[in-house]
């Protein structure tokens, strides 16, 4: 989940300049996948890896702006099948476990001993899964719009829960699917997004993408279109992961939280996040002594929400002194 990354007109904590990467990589991680990776900021700075949302959203220059470029060495990459990684829209050998392994390949390739994990929405899911698999390689977690990959979260977004607040947008999402299949919208969209007809894939990709996009920002209006190939890659990858319950056991990230209990964490959560409601952030933070939950008022899900962005910049600035 999460793809919105627009510009912010003003915030209490100013974004840093976008800047340009000091190094770009195309890393072959096997299984036919080659990942796009970029390094920004200070080559000798404190390493932080940015895990984008989706699955399938890809990274953007906007994501570089939360980090003081004199202090941080920022690593961004496009996960398998999306962005500038190749092949695009491929779900072959594309699971959460593959992505965890990819992060380790990137870390060792760049000769990084350990690093901060910065991720929102699906990126928060992946950050938690990676940290629990490699707790000695994480120095802390900065999470936004927490998504734990649980069935109740998928039911909220694709089973009609969120649709009670947005009945017009929910109807638009359901309309392309015959009534007899609407009891399982993830499955119904899956059959169409993975048909043999590429044009059909693209036709069903746009309503899938627009449903999430419409709910991401509390105040910003959602775009009504997207480049067809971007929409296709995003929708196929996200649907693939959700059809497989994110390749996680139910409640896995909560059950295994003890593996990262020693790590510090900050959760930045929009009070009115309709994509990933605050309950998941609350559940994750309870009993985690080193975790600080910051619920941001008058804010939704998107990384581009002014108060969300401001709080993330403030958090990363605070960590420079730790």
Looking at the structure, do residues 258 and 141 belong to the same domain, yes or no? Answer: yes
How many domains, the chain? Answer: 2
pLDDT score of 222: 53
Q: How many CB atoms are closer than 10 A to CB 86?
A: 17
**Among 246, 274, 302, residue at a domain's last position:** 246
Looking at the structure, do residues 129 and 265 belong to the same domain, yes or no? Answer: yes
SS3 category, 41: strand
Backbone angles phi, psi at 135, to 5 degrees: -60, -20
CATH number at residue 107: 3.40.50.1820
Residue positions annotated with a catalytic role: 121, 273, 301
Backbone angles phi, psi at 295, to 5 degrees: -85, 120
Looking at the structure, do residues 174 and 263 belong to the same domain, yes or no? Answer: no
102 token code pair = 């990819």
Domain membership of residue 56 (yes or no) is yes
CB within 8 A of 34, min separation 6: which ones? 26, 27, 28, 85, 86
Looking at the structure, do residues 177 and 43 belong to the same domain, yes or no? Answer: no
Model confidence, pTM: 0.95
Whole-number Cα distances in Å, 241 to 29, 185, 217, 271? 19, 14, 23, 26
pLDDT score of 7: 35
Angstrom distance (rounded) from CA 239 to CA 246: 10
Looking at the structure, do residues 111 and 161 belong to the same domain, yes or no? Answer: no
Looking at the structure, do residues 268 and 312 belong to the same domain, yes or no? Answer: yes
Q: Which domain does 223 fall in, by range?
A: 152-246
Q: Which residues pair with 138 in a beta bridge?
A: 115
Q: What is the pLDDT along the chain (322 residues), one digit of tens a residue?
A: 765 444 333 344 799 999 999 999 999 999 999 999 999 999 999 999 999 999 999 999 999 999 999 999 999 999 999 999 999 999 999 999 999 999 999 999 999 999 999 999 999 999 999 999 999 999 999 999 999 999 999 999 999 999 999 999 999 999 999 999 999 999 999 999 999 999 999 999 999 999 999 999 886 555 557 889 999 999 999 999 999 999 999 999 999 999 999 999 999 999 999 999 999 999 999 999 999 999 999 999 999 999 999 999 999 999 998 7
Angle at 133 between CA 76 and CA 74, to 5 degrees: 20
pLDDT score of 1: 73
Looking at the structure, do residues 38 and 133 belong to the same domain, yes or no? Answer: yes
Looking at the structure, do residues 125 and 189 belong to the same domain, yes or no? Answer: no
pLDDT score of 218: 80
**Among 246, 280, 307, residue at a domain's last position:** 246
Looking at the structure, do residues 268 and 233 belong to the same domain, yes or no? Answer: no
């Amino acid at each position: 989940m999460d793809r919105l990354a627009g510009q912010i007109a003003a915030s209490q904590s100013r974004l840093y300049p976008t800047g340009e990467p000091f190094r770009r990589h195309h890393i072959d991680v096997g299984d036919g996948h080659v990942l796009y990776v970029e390094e920004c900021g200070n080559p000798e700075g404190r390493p932080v890896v940015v895990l984008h949302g989706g699955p399938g959203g890809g990274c953007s220059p906007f994501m570089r702006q939360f980090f003081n470029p004199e202090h941080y060495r920022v690593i961004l990459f496009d996960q398998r099948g999306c962005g500038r990684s190749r092949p695009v829209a491929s779900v072959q050998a594309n699971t959460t476990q593959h992505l965890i392994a990819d992060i380790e390949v990137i870390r060792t390739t760049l000769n990084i001993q350990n690093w901060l994990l910065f991720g929102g929405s699906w990126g928060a899911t992946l950050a938690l899964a990676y940290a629990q698999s490699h707790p000695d390689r994480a120095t802390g977690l900065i999470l936004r719009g927490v998504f734990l990959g649980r069935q109740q979260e998928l039911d909220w977004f694709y089973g009609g829960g969120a649709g009670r607040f947005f009945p017009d947008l929910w109807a638009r999402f359901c309309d392309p699917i015959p009534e007899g299949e609407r009891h399982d919208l993830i499955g119904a969209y899956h059959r169409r997004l993975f048909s043999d007809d590429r044009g059909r894939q693209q036709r069903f990709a746009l309503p899938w993408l627009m449903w999430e996009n419409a709910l991401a920002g509390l105040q910003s209006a959602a775009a009504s279109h997207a480049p067809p190939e971007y929409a296709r890659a995003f929708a196929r990858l996200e649907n693939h992961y959700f059809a497989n319950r994110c390749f996680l056991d139910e409640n896995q990230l909560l059950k295994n939280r003890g593996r990262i209990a020693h790590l510090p964490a900050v959760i930045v959560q929009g009070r009115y996040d309709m994509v990933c409601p605050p309950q998941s952030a609350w559940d994750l933070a309870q009993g985690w002594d080193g975790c600080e939950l910051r619920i941001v008022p008058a804010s939704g899900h998107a990384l581009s929400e002014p108060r969300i962005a401001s709080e993330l910049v403030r958090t990363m600035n605070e960590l420079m002194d730790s």
